[in-house]
Amino acid sequence: MCRRHVSAIRKEPDTLFLNKENEISFCEDLKSYVHRDPFINIFLGRTFLSHEMVETVGVDKLAGRIVGSASRASFIEKTVFMNRLKEEMCPQKPKIVQITKTMDKLKNARGGSVALNTGYHIPLVGFGTYKVEGNQVLPAIDAALTAGYRMFDTAKYYNNEKELGDAFKILLPKHNLTRQDIFITSKFFPEMDDCLIGSHKLIDESLEKLDTNYIDMYLVHYPKPKDAPDEDVKNAERRKLTYQAFEEAKDAGKIRSIGVSNYEIYHLEELKSYAKYQPCANQVEFHPHFTRSKLHAYCRDNGIFFQAFSSLARQAPELIEDSVVVEMAKEHDTTVPLILLAWARCQGVGIVPKSATPARVTENFKVIDVVLTPDEIKLLADLNRNKDYIRCTGWLVK
Ligand SMILES: NC(=O)c1ccc[n+]([C@@H]2O[C@H](COP(=O)([O-])OP(=O)(O)OC[C@H]3O[C@@H](n4cnc5c(N)ncnc54)[C@H](OP(=O)(O)O)[C@@H]3O)[C@@H](O)[C@H]2O)c1
């Protein structure tokens, strides 16, 4: 049984993904797949992980082919099941492999996508949700899905995970989409104490509120807890434990890709000493007045997707009234926000513009039609002032 398992992994067999949406049919599917192809890998959705289901299919049919779990509520069951497999059928622990093949609907996202170092694709154009709150959420997400956004950026700090989850529940069917058609990012600051246990609780809470059994990308929001002093010597240990909790959650199928935000090169270097999975992304403030060229180059050289936040600098007049940007918008017969967004996207940098105004949500997606030349990209990059407009100063954090 174990030999078969090993060869199945080496063969990189096709993967059957079983999720919440196909719960009804998947019992039958599961049985037929198991019998048809001895090398098929089975991705366990939470329903499957009941003892009843295990009995229905037969543990012996499954041993050696289990590769992962998207389980949320059934995490304990999964552990019990894995242990049972280990003890009864397979002396060596079933290998957990992340699933990518059948899931990559996002590869062809409008506006382009990038393959993360986990194999999953992230759309380049996303929708930022900071300060999209309460009853603003539904119309904003509706406009975003209509326009073509498939990536959504939230955080504990934004206090809108529940509203987003509720909105997706209503809007995905309306737009003839399923969970796999969208990419959700969430993030939180490291806790002050009990970082490992605390992080697991927060991740589970995200799954609950967003009403999903996996988060596409989870970011360590900041290299320190919100209320810790920048120079606090405990910060390094706190972000390490937070990251390690993410890694455990990834192994449990709750998170697909782990990234960071507001990390500097020295924070990223630190990760090399302990991370089992190197970060897939770093989300930082990025616009023509704050080009982060060294950090950007470091991320590119280390396979870390560079994702911009606050590309519009929250409408800071210094940036949106910058005469070079204004002039370029006129030349392209477009708007300043679209030039700022295109400047990032045309470099392969991800963007997550925020607007709570449906008309602007729609307008911002038109960034996909604005193509800047290398010279224009350079002209804007030369406006750099090393000026941040948002109060995220990760470079101060020890
Ligand atoms: N990781 C981090 O630490 C971090 C930090 C900051 C932000 N972020 C993420 O990045 C996202 C975007 O950044 P942000 O929210 O700071 O700001 P932003 O996207 O730079 O700017 C948002 C502001 O611009 C306005 N706006 C948007 N489109 C516009 C348009 N076409 N014309 C005129 N005004 C327009 C919005 O107004 P209305 O809403 O009123 O339309 C809002 O006031 C956030 O929502 C969040 O997801 C992450």
Q: What angle do CA 45, 47, 48 make, to 5 degrees?
A: 70
Q: How many CA atoms lie within 13 A of 44 on its CB side?
A: 32
- What's the confidence (pLDDT) of residue 351? 98
3-state SS class at 372: coil
Whether 303 and 397 have beta carbons less than 8 Å apart is answered as: no
- What's the confidence (pLDDT) of residue 58? 53
Position with higher pLDDT, 127 vs 121? 127
Which candidate in 130, 158, 222, 243 is catalytic?
158
- Across 139-166, average pLDDT: 98
Q: Per residue in 287-334, pLDDT tens?
A: 999 999 999 999 999 999 999 999 999 999 999 999 999 999 999 999
72 secondary structure, DSSP code: S
**What is the atom index within ligand 1 of the atom nearest the CA of 283?**
1
- Across 145-169, average pLDDT: 98
Task: Answer yes or no: is pLDDT of 156 > 60.
Answer: yes
Where does residue 389 rank: exposed (0-12), middle (13-18), buried (19+ CB within 10 A)? middle
**Does residue 355's CB lie within 6 angstroms of at least one atom of ligand 1?**
yes
Where does residue 34 rank: exposed (0-12), middle (13-18), buried (19+ CB within 10 A)? middle
* Nearby residues of 323 by Cβ (< 8 Å), 6 or more positions away: none
Task: Answer yes or no: is pLDDT of 44 > 50.
Answer: no
Q: Which fold has domain 104-396?
A: TIM Barrel (3.20.20)
Q: How far apart are the first and last CA of the chain?
A: 49
Confidence of residue 3 (pLDDT cuts 50, 70, 90): very low
Kindly state the percentage of the chain with pLDDT values over 70: 74
Confidence of residue 108 (pLDDT cuts 50, 70, 90): confident
- What's the confidence (pLDDT) of residue 18? 36
- The rounded Å distance from CA 314 to ligand 1 centre is 5
User: What value does the CA radius of gyration of the chain take, rounded to a whole number of Å?
Assistant: 22
Where does residue 25 rank: exposed (0-12), middle (13-18), buried (19+ CB within 10 A)? exposed
**What is the atom index within ligand 1 of the atom nearest the CA of 219?**
1
DSSP 383-397: T------SS--GGG-
**Does residue 315's CB lie within 6 angstroms of at least one atom of ligand 1?**
yes
- What's the confidence (pLDDT) of residue 69? 37
- What's the confidence (pLDDT) of residue 56? 53
**What does the domain layout of the chain look like in residue ranges?**
2-97, 104-396
Q: For this structure, is 158 an active site residue?
A: yes
- What's the confidence (pLDDT) of residue 57? 53
- The rounded Å distance from CA 310 to ligand 1 centre is 5
